[in-house]
């Protein structure tokens, strides 16, 4: 479902005299259905950079990244948007809050954009918010003023509300208490069991040991010194 082949990535820092940072030379990995692959490697090794290329936010300088058969190297923005709508899900570390949109609608939005009717979409969003222990009195409010952990749980609810076949998880258990961490780990296990291909960054070692079927060390993709 995710096939990364010989990917290279460099950053050119235009505001710092055009300095060039070669981050990755030949990254290759595969994530199949029902797998949860954890990216490991020292800080700065390129874990987030690789995830951002797969999410379609960073350009790929060489090589190929295919997600469910769609080539991301050189993809048009509309192809990336279509892929994200039905196929590629993402739980980022932080929620991008849109002022005035209630938490319930933030979570229901991916379902509405897939054409589900509003009542059903909201019912599914409500079930996940309840499971993630977001008090019902907060559902009609914008998450702008929510605590860090509450915002992260809204983000997680949004990331699991549709059964995306491919999921990217960036530190999904950071800043959660034990009970909510447990809920998130169960959601990941359920996604894996239904056959999702999952790629994640988990600094929480116990979480990684529990949900990952395999680890890939990104340091191995570094440019030779
Ligand atoms: N937008 C960017 N512009 C310039 N350099 C960047 C950019 N994004 C990442 N880098 C550089 O790429 C390298 C890899 O960064 P990345 O964030 O992918 O590492 P990481 O393995 O996720 O680290 P951490 O575990 O600390 O989050 C770093 O040296 C970083 O400075």
Report CA(70)–ligand 1 centroid distance (Å): 25
Q: What is the ipTM of this complex?
A: 0.96
What is the rounded average pLDDT of the residues 75-96? 92
What is the rounded average pLDDT of the residues 40-44? 91
Q: Whose CA is nearest to atom 17 of ligand 1?
A: 48
Nearest partner of 49 among 87, 67, 15, 23, judged by Cα: 23
pLDDT > 70? residue 66 = yes
Q: Which tens digits make up the pLDDT trace of 126-173?
A: 999 999 999 999 999 999 999 989 999 999 999 999 999 999 999 999
Q: Are strands 214-217 and 36-40 parallel, antiparallel or unpaired?
A: parallel
Distance CA 202, CA 208 (A): 6
Q: Whose CA is nearest to atom 9 of ligand 1?
A: 49
DSSP string, 142-193: -GGGS-HHHHHHHHHHHHHSS--SEEEEESTTTT--HHHHHHHHHHHHHHHH
Tell me the CB-side half-sphere exposure of residue 31, using CA atoms within 13 A: 31
- CATH fold, domain 31-58+75-215, is Rossmann fold (3.40.50)
Report CA(184)–ligand 1 centroid distance (Å): 26
Report CA(54)–ligand 1 centroid distance (Å): 15
Pocket of ligand 1, beta carbon within 6 A: 11, 13, 21, 23, 41, 43-49
Backbone angles phi, psi at 165, to 5 degrees: -70, -20
* Position 225 confidence tier, pLDDT thresholds 50, 70, 90: low
Q: Point out the least confidently predicted range of 13-22, 35-44, 74-83, 207-216.
A: 13-22
Report CA(89)–ligand 1 centroid distance (Å): 22
Nearest partner of 133 among 184, 64, 172, judged by Cα: 184
Report CA(61)–ligand 1 centroid distance (Å): 15
Q: Which tens digits make up the pLDDT trace of 188-204?
A: 999 999 999 999 999 99
Residue 39 Cα: closest atom of ligand 1? 21
- In this prediction, residue 175 carries a pLDDT of 80
Distance CA 93, CA 69 (A): 26
Evaluate if pTM is beyond 0.80.
yes
Residue 218 Cα: closest atom of ligand 1? 21
Pocket test for ligand 1, best of 49, 53, 225 (most atoms within 8 A of CB): 49
């Amino acid at each position: 479902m995710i096939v990364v082949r010989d990917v290279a990535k460099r950053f050119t820092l235009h505001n710092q005299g055009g300095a060039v940072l070669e981050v990755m030379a030949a990254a290759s990995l595969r994530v199949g259905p029902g797998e949860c692959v954890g990216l490991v490697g020292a800080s700065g090794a390129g874990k987030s950079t690789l995830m951002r290329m797969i999410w379609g936010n960073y350009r790929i300088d060489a090589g190929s990244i295919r997600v469910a058969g769609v080539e991301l190297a050189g993809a048009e923005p509309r192809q990336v948007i279509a892929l994200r709508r039905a196929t590629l899900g993402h739980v980022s570390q932080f929620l991008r809050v849109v002022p005035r949109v209630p938490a319930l609608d933030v979570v229901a939005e991916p379902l509405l954009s897939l054409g589900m009717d509003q009542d059903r979409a909201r019912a599914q969003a409500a079930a996940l918010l309840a499971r993630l222990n977001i008090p019902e009195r907060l559902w009609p409010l914008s998450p702008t003023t929510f605590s860090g952990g509450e915002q992260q749980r809204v983000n997680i609810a949004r990331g699991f509300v549709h059964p995306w076949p491919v999921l990217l998880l960036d530190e999904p258990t950071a800043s959660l208490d034990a009970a909510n961490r447990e809920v998130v780990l169960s959601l990941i296990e359920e996604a894996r069991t239904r056959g999702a291909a999952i790629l994640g960054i988990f600094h929480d070692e116990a979480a990684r040991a529990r949900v990952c079927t395999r680890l890939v060390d990104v340091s191995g993709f570094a440019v030779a010194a």
